[in-house]
Chains A and B, each alone.
Chain A
């Protein structure tokens, strides 16, 4: 009996005993530097699991044992221990960890302390992205990470072009995105940017070699927000905005008519002028087709919380963007739930679930037709001629072949729905301290259904659709990858630090396609816009495409006394995309670093808190090609035989494969310097790099005489060796004086992309322009340079034409008349021909600059981001039509006034001519080349944080911002940024695409 009581007592004693000595401690945690309250600081009773976190006001309450020690810890701050004494209110002020060096960086298949890095990795915090509203997080990254060139590409849902450190491959320049350790491909449109905790960009091969053949274009690792122990925290971010596009100045009907007719009268022929144009109609096609404002909005609710067993974070987000047309929009709903459960000291498991839904209507690419359309044409036919089919009532362009853009918008009917789920479950086991085995199996499944309906209509013989067509495409992608890693962290003899990793991974991508179409839907009625309603020409197609990859990889990071660092990695990839015998590729890397600031002679220098010198080498591959490129494929080519005209099924070659296809590899050297001065107020990073790609893969146009069925005879070829060399320099200054805080970052970079060697020893000509090519890529030269004739003013009279001769008096331009462009006979051989072409411009900039400024005074803050490129040219090929009126297209408002019309009227713009026998507007020449430098204000945001007294403790910030607010440029086209896009061997050619809109937004952020 006694024994039994004794046991009971022993059992309940622990419950009572501490209670008698427990006290409740309260307090507030602030930052020592600025006395700002710190939210989410972990407060723990030392040696126990008892703990909490500070709330929105920096307050905490914790019941602890008397005389216990409280530990206050917070990322980026030096942890502090305070002993609980009779004073039960403990206010703590935490000092910032000056060095900020022990920040943990995700490096691929593991993490490392920033101080241990030996390669070039940029980190951008989710915090720094949140001020920009964008559907694609990369757009928010623009100008914020050095060496990462992000170029926006217009319409809703369009993915920007992301280039990391220039161009050494042309075969898909997009980097690989890795979300929470799972490679997800080259597009992250699906990701809600509010979910991002941090983005790491692996820029050099010594960093990206761990991703082997997926690393050629660099790696962008995205880590989503994890839960934190402590009280639930909520954030609500919401913004609504309007976007507009600057209207180009186009000719009205009267000016158009003048230009149109003069083109013929100058040729002494009768204008092909349509008499209907003389009825005084003046249609502004831009106003008729393009809306003044498109609407965009984003709303996001997220939360984090947890205890010592379970941490979780989640979000629900909505993003919507409209195009400038009546059709064309993108909606996205995303959800996320990240959990991690600690079973015991050794075992942890978790799952990240991210479902999404996207819905979009395709945005038609109509700016070109809007701008070319004949302004003398009305939008609609005369009302008395109207018929039942409303699509027939639009007018046909009177004087050119452009399709009525208002009618095109009305008929536009393409829409898609996509559902997806990214699931990343994992288990990690730490059987021995420092040894962690982790296995993660992620599945990324997406299901897309796209429908397209083309109504029947008749506007003209050449603007009609005789039969309705309905089509549906179902595409499912199910990708999985299985990643198994073993990490071991240890220190031997206090000086030798090891961080080792070995891994085995398998990946499989599955693409399941089904397509069906029918013609002859009985009417244009919306209820009939389904395949079943079609009556004619049923067609279907479908296939599965699988790609697999198996990889073995390892990494050793070693440092001696936190002064000397060495990292080595090795990866072997086997890929299904290459033929047997050529399936495996190896990717090694080595890098070293020296932290001079830890040496005795610098350790005590106050001003220098960090000084590190890095150097690395690595080699990565590129398996970014379609798996069928080495095959000769066959497609359908039917013909007719027999007295009844019977269809005979025929086949013919549809692709000539390149049997000599091999791996493309990129090898790079990197040297870098990280400096942190003045107690972390000033950070400087500098990098020099040289990347070389061998066996570069590219679709190469070939001679027509080969008879290849591919467009322009393009065949994927290992065309040669290319080099990107450059430097990056970034400065960040951060300080606070009293209530005034400021932070400024400047990123500067320069990359020279050079072609070293082409297999055929022949230059690669790209960028078609009137049966010629604009760019010429030549061995030893920079890529994407424009190659053409040098325009040398305008012939003012016949005498000038007659005196423009070769050495022996040969007339050089026999078709020229006064008002035509004079082209230079550069080699002075008396003939104007190919040999007189020279390099007349270059597409890539000398300098790319990003500028971030953040100012705050009390409750007001200003965030800004500027971005620009300098020293690049744009080939403004749109000028060919908008100053010539070729084929009767509309022109710029000043085209008539600027054109040459008699001696002395212009020495730049030639005369108007329909025949253009001198090829003023059809010859690749310096006439079209303009300076493409620009400096753009990407973001300007003014924020006001409401005083906590008013909000009852909630953090509420209101903001108003402008994105793409203004651009300083000398470029005359619509958008220098957009014009700089295009394939890397034919970049910088402006063909008028969807320009980047200017967006005005109003936002609210609430934290509670």
Chain B
């Protein structure tokens, strides 16, 4: 028996010593690891694809809904939905209590998540063992374009933000502060300039790559970044190059600009790509999010009669019908019976109007029409915008003839065919501003335009529109005769009355971020 015991003890120890080291190595199975990734072209491209997904993300609440929510802060949109709780949107749409920042937080968070994806590509691809140097450069350039895009979105909404350009551990960014607006733009300009150098022209990409960032897109965004900083000469230069590149043109028919049948048209510089493949959830959310409740929509972000009036006053019936659908209208471009006498029930919709640009005609709707399978690409930058930015910059530096030429090219679009503007100076400036409102209505441009434009009285345009004496507030409270808006006070018509000039040129940084930083990240003034 003792013998047996000895053998047993020996075996035990032998076993333990011989196999210990292997026994304790248990790799994580079935999951890819970043540290061993970026080995092939395919892996580099896949991570870049992930970064593209971060432009608008894959659901309605991260970026899409807050984008509409931000636009609600302008004179173009109501919250609109008057059957459901509006608490998420009161902060942006009605300048309500600053602490209610749910959607703002989502937006902030997901922009930075997207930036991390770009940062990983930018830092890993240079060292990847791949042979195709042209592809390597292009991938980095695309990622830089996307990073610049994300930071540009942040600076527009929040002002200067903390700049993160690498993947960091929390301990590495202790005490981080916000960069100034100038520093943030500097980062954006640098990334876009790097991207321009290495990105192909749109025509140089193979068809299968349609939708990727192009040299033209990067230049267009760089022009916009300059314009937002009032660097007019730089803007003029780079936007002029886009116009002369012959890569882009206006579509003759304005109604086609936002048609599902004209995704990635000649007019498009950059748009979010969607698929209607039922196997995946790769569709766009905004057609449902902004649609009529009487037609499977959620009715958030409805156009104001103030915007409608701007079209009518400008004699612009064509762009009006492709921008706003009003209760009882026959929807432009939709010949199905459902679109005749289209219902947008006034009791459920503040203005009984919806955004035609995000509307998909019934015969072109994927089934089920359920929000995550709609392939109406989200247009983010288009040629008409480039022309109008060019006109604005040219006017600002006194080159009114160039400005008029670009402006009138937009007005002269075949289907729109408005008379050319002949004014100059401030009158021309005002004509360009109005043109931007009409041409780019409901495309997430208006809020940032009226925040940056300075009016003749030295105030920002938005301060003359919003606030107790603002033109928009006065219009809704006193002048408007619009029965739909006046009769449905479930969203109060006094929107904008609580606007404060010293506070509301930016949105607040999410409160949780201030808290978690221990105070090193400082809130925007007066929140």
Contact = CB atoms under 8 A, between A and B. Distances in A.
A715 interface: yes
Interface string B174-189: 1010000000000000
A660 B169 contact: yes
Nearest to A270: B489
Contacts of B276: 645
A887 B87 contact: yes
A652 B211 contact: no
B513 interface: yes
Interface in B29-88: 29-35, 37, 43, 46-54, 58, 82-87
Nearest to B297: A461
A651 B49 contact: yes
Interface string A674-715: 000000000000000000000000001111111111000001
Given A439-B8, A542-B30, A647-B277, A583 B24 contact: yes
Contacts of A707: 112-117, 119, 164, 167
B85 A765 contact: no
Interface in A627-671: 627-628, 631-634, 637-643, 645-653, 656, 658-660
A561 B158 CA distance: 77
Contacts of A659: 169
B13 A504 contact: yes
Given A272-B490, A704-B109, A708-B113, A576 B25 contact: yes
A494 interface: no
Interface stretch (B305-313, B438-446, B514-522): B514-522
A601 interface: no
Interface in B99-114: 99-102, 105, 108-109, 112-114
B210 interface: yes
A768 B264 CA distance: 42
A255 interface: no
A506 B30 contact: no
Contacts of A634: 31-34, 37
B511 interface: yes
A437 B47 CA distance: 57
A347 B173 contact: no
A390 interface: no
A431 B100 contact: no
B513 A704 contact: yes
Interface string A547-567: 110100000000000000000
B511 A771 contact: yes
A700 B516 CA distance: 10
Contact of B26 (A272, A547, A658, A886): A547
A639 B50 contact: yes
Given A645-B274, A922-B100, A461 B296 contact: yes
A641 B20 contact: no
Interface string B211-245: 11000000000000000000000000000000000
Interface string B454-495: 000000000000000000000000000000000011101000
B489 A269 contact: yes
Contacts of A616: none
B26 A627 contact: yes
A347 B112 CA distance: 67
Given A575-B24, A639-B282, A759 B171 contact: yes
Contacts of A400: 85
A582 B5 CA distance: 34
Given A575-B24, A653-B116, A919-B99, A545 B277 contact: no
A269 B83 contact: no
Interface in B351-379: 368, 370, 375
A705 B112 contact: yes
Interface residues of B, number: 107
A365 B85 CA distance: 23
Contacts of B489: 269-270
A550 B12 CA distance: 12
Contact of B516 (A647, A648, A701, A759): A701
B371 to A, nearest CB: 9
B514 to A, nearest CB: 8
A379 interface: no
Contact of A702 (B52, B85, B97, B516): B516
The CB with the most chain B CB atoms within 10 A, among A537, A704, A886, is that of A704
A893 interface: no
A346 interface: yes
A818 to B, nearest CB: 18
A504 B113 CA distance: 47
A918 to B, nearest CB: 8
Contacts of B517: 703
A233 B112 CA distance: 69
B278 A536 contact: yes
A288 interface: no
B170 A717 contact: yes
A429 B50 contact: no
B29 A545 contact: yes
A972 to B, nearest CB: 25
Given A269-B490, A643-B264, A703 B170 contact: yes
B275 interface: yes
A621 B508 CA distance: 44
Interface in B5-30: 5, 8-9, 12-13, 16, 20, 23-26, 28-30
B263 interface: yes
Interface string A966-1008: 0000000000000000000000000000000000000000000
Contacts of A886: 85, 87
Given A702-B516, A705-B513, A771-B512, A632 B97 contact: no
Contacts of A462: 84, 298
B210 A504 contact: no
Interface in A462-493: 462, 466-467, 484, 486
A796 B20 CA distance: 74
A651 B1 contact: no
A342 B194 CA distance: 82
A437 B96 CA distance: 75
B90 interface: yes
B2 interface: yes
A400 B47 CA distance: 41
A642 B96 CA distance: 43
Interface in A746-788: 759-760, 762-763, 765, 768, 770-773
A335 B34 CA distance: 47
Interface in A481-515: 484, 486, 504, 506, 508
A574 B212 contact: no
Contacts of A347: 1
Contacts of A543: 29-31
Contacts of A536: 278-279
B273 A640 contact: yes
B16 A550 contact: yes
B56 to A, nearest CB: 10
A638 B282 contact: yes
A580 B516 CA distance: 33
Contacts of B375: 645
Given A504-B16, A641-B208, A771-B105, A544 B50 contact: no
4 smallest CB-CB distances across A and B, nearest first, come from A707-B116, A650-B49, A652-B50, A543-B30
Given A272-B86, A437-B5, A628-B28, 7 more contacts: A272-B85, A627-B28, A640-B282, A646-B275, A704-B108, A917-B97, A922-B99
20 contacts: A429-B4, A467-B368, A543-B30, A543-B31, A545-B29, A628-B31, A631-B34, A640-B282, A645-B277, A648-B49, A650-B47, A653-B167, A703-B170, A705-B162, A706-B173, A715-B170, A771-B100, A771-B511, A772-B512, A886-B87
Interface of B: 1-2, 4-5, 8-9, 12-13, 16, 20, 23-26, 28-35, 37, 43, 46-54, 58, 82-87, 90, 96-97, 99-102, 105, 108-109, 112-117, 119-120, 161-162, 164, 167-171, 173-174, 176, 207-212, 263-264, 273-280, 282, 293, 296-298, 368, 370, 375, 488-490, 492, 510-518, 521
